[in-house]
Amino acid sequence: MPLIVISGGPCSGKSTRAKELLDYFQTKAMPVQIITDNNLDRNAVYTGYRYELYCITKLYQTVQCTIYCNTPAHVAREWNTANHRYDPSIFDALVQRYEPPEGRNRWDAPLFEITPEDQLPLEQIADYLANKRPPPPNKSTVNLPISDTNFLHDVDRVTQDVIDSIVQQSKMAVLGQQFSIPGTTEKINWNQNHSVSDLRRIRQQYLKFIKTHPPSKDNTNVTAMFVQFLNNNLC
């Protein structure tokens, strides 16, 4: 099933836009389901995961698009005050930390940016989801045969995908959080902050290691092996 990711800062109108989409697709007799985090504690859980969702859609070879609710902070603050959604300090922190989607990022494209005054381009969104060809799956979401002559090249791409996922998730993370990585049930334990250069250094160590210690079985999940290697070195 195609995926629509609705992104925006706190109290930017995401739930309202989701309801508009639901009503539109239901009038077209198209199956639709809203997956929301409204049942979570808004003042305790607020991690973004757009990149991870992108990898999942690639794994299942479906299409996705992103809707960005670009609501001015002062308007969102008024909505928050009226509806008592977030504690004021949490609201301000989320506004500062929020990273808006960018259409040039493959995990955010195509991007439909809307302000509170804009109408959703419903027909354009539906046309894209119905007619766009899904992307091929990432190397990180499939097991790699060791006998493949491109094995080391594929491992290089897989490990870079994992690093990209960690970097994106870490921007909105809190210490002690676990990051889900597409292609494996293993999780990254984020117990302290690490720079991109730290992650790149560990990745280079892993690439050197696997050249001299290749897996002994075909169809080994290299993504899981790399996540385990990261956890052992992110101490």
Task: Please state the domain extents for the chain.
Answer: 3-131, 150-234
- With 60 as the cut, is the pLDDT of residue 186 above it? yes
- The 10s digit of each residue's pLDDT in 70-113 is 999 999 999 999 988 899 999 999 999 888 999 988 889 999 99
β strands within the chain, DSSP E: 3-8, 64-69, 111-114, 177-180, 187-190
Distance CA 123, CA 156 (A): 40
CATH fold of the domain at 3-131 = Rossmann fold (3.40.50)
Mapped onto helix, strand or coil, the DSSP state of residue 30 is: coil
Half-sphere exposure of 69 (CA within 13 A, CB side): 21
For residue 97, the model assigns a pLDDT of 87
Report residue 52's pLDDT band, with 50, 70 and 90 as the boundaries.
confident
User: 78: which 2 tokens?
Assistant: 């008024």
The answer to whether residue 68 scores a pLDDT higher than 80 is yes
Rounded to an integer, the average pLDDT of 214-220 is: 61
Question: Is residue 141 scored above 60 in pLDDT?
Answer: no
Least reliable range by pLDDT among 10-14, 35-39, 50-54, 91-95: 35-39
- CA 189 distance to own-chain centroid: 17
Q: pLDDT tens for residues 196-211?
A: 999 999 999 998 888 7
Residue 146 has pLDDT above 70, yes or no: no
Asked if residue 37 has pLDDT above 90, the reply is no
Q: List all residues 6 or more positions away from 200 whose beta carbon is below 8 Å from its beta carbon.
A: 163
CA distance 209 to 222: 12
Residue 57 has a pLDDT of 82
